[in-house]
Structures are given as structure tokens and as C-alpha cells.
Amino acid sequence: METAVLKVIYMKKINVVLLEDDSIDRLKIEIMLSNTESSEYEIILIETFNTLESLLLYLEHQIKEIDVIVSDIFINNKAKGLKLLKELSNSDVPVILTTSSHDTVIYNEAKSIRRVQYLIKPFHKLTLQSSIILAFEDSEKRKLHYEADTKFLFLKSNLNQNDRTKLNDIIFIEAEGNYCYIHTQDKKYVLKKSLTRLISEDLDKHFFRTHHKFAVNRNYIKLLRSRTLLLTNNVDLPIGVSFKQAIKEYASLHSIPQ
């Protein structure tokens, strides 16, 4: 009896939200998650949504309470799951995409946006639960990685050497197709990875996008101008039209001079 009590006390809770517009599939997933087949975790489905808009509105206020998002790719026959990935490009909340489609183009596009797990319907209860637990554990490991002050990337220099580069030393990043040019005070590195994936998978909260081709470390921002950000190394980064309002709000929140 005491062992059972201790087991309950030390089970970790994984809060999950679901985006699914098919009522039958939504019910199946709710049933799959109603009883966690794990001695270590308890999966709790805290909210379900049938539109991307309602989910995004919820995330604006509750994202810190969420451990994993499970989303169908196609909502009302549109690839809203891909749009969700793009909306979460600056978030570290893991996403599991579900679909009955075997379209490799959709699969590759999802993978190019950010780190994501992918489940083809129909899937088994244990498949879904193990995917959620794996996504949660991976997210927790990444958090510990940051908290341990090991925030760095291995980057290849022009001399073909792998440098251990701290995130704090990165000033800004410039994208060119599937490559990123990473600028520090002394060096410029090239990394074969899209800017979207780099932000979502490797960088921390100090980095944000200013343009579809640029991201910046906020620690190096000197001044916010009407169309550019002036950095401490006197580089002017362009501000994309679609990023302008978000950057202005970000600047106000973090006391960046304007």
C-alpha cells in the first residue's frame, strides 16, 4: 500500500492540449489519453480545440501551463497544423502532428519548420502516449541543457574548424535558403539549417526574428529605429513589415531604447 501511494505522489504530470476538428478522431484521442499506461507519468488532456484560431487565443494566456500540443495537420481541409508550427517558431513547447495523409511533401515541410513528431492515423494508444512522453522528456532535457549554462553551438569556421560558440557571443543571424550565417564579434560561421529550425531547436529566448532573413540577440540591440534595429557593433538590421508590431511590443517589454 505504501509503495502504491509513493508511486502516485512521484508521478510527473504532462499537460496536453489537442487540436482536432474531426469529432470521432477527437473522441478516440480523448479515450486514448484517459488512462496513462506509465508508472512514471500521468498524461492530462487539459483542453481540446476544433479551430486553430481558438487554440492560438488560448496559447496567448496559457502556454506556460502546456507541456505538449497534439494537432491534426488538416483542419477544415486546410494545413492549419503547419501554420501552428510557424506560429510557435519562437516557442519551445513540443508539437506532435497527426494526419491520415501520406503526402511526403507535407511531411518534409513540417520537418523544415521546426522539431516535430509525426503520427499517421490510425495509431495505437501506446504509440500516442509514448510519443507524448518522448516529446516531453526531450523538452525537459533541452531545458536542463540551458539551465546548466551549456548554451552553445558547435559551428564550423572558414578554417574548417569546429568552434564551441556560446549563444551569448552570437550577435545576429542571417539566412540564405537552407543555410544560416552566424555573426559573432570576431567570426562569421555557416550552418546548414533553416533560420526557422535554428530558432526553434537551438537558440534561447534572447533571440527573435526581425525579418524573414534575420534574427538578433537582444543583448546586442542598441536602438530601435522606424525600419531597422541598430546593433552595438553598428550593424543596421532591417525590420520586416510583418515583424514590425511584434518587435515594437518586444522593445517596450524589454526596455529597448526607441
**243 and 132 fall within a common domain:** no
Residue 185 lies in a domain: yes
Range of the domain at 197: 152-253
Average pLDDT on 48-54 reads 95
Domain count along the chain:
2
- pLDDT band of residue 40 (cuts 50, 70, 90) is confident
| CATH number of the structural domain spanning residue 241 | 2.40.50.1020
Average pLDDT across the chain, whole number: 85
Instruction: Specify the pTM.
Output: 0.56
pLDDT at 164: 77
Residue ranges in the chain assigned as alpha helix (H): 2-9, 23-32, 52-62, 80-87, 104-113, 125-147, 195-201, 244-253
- pLDDT band of residue 43 (cuts 50, 70, 90) is very high
**209 and 110 fall within a common domain:** no
Average pLDDT on 34-55 reads 92
**176 and 92 fall within a common domain:** no
pLDDT at 2: 45
Residue 222 lies in a domain: yes
**193 and 232 fall within a common domain:** yes
**99 and 178 fall within a common domain:** no
**98 and 24 fall within a common domain:** yes
**112 and 10 fall within a common domain:** yes
**110 and 218 fall within a common domain:** no
Least confident of 1-15, 37-51, 87-101, 232-246: 1-15
The values of phi and psi at residue 174, to 5°, are -120, 130
pLDDT digits (tens, 9 = 90+) for 13-36: 999 999 999 999 999 999 999 999
**56 and 171 fall within a common domain:** no
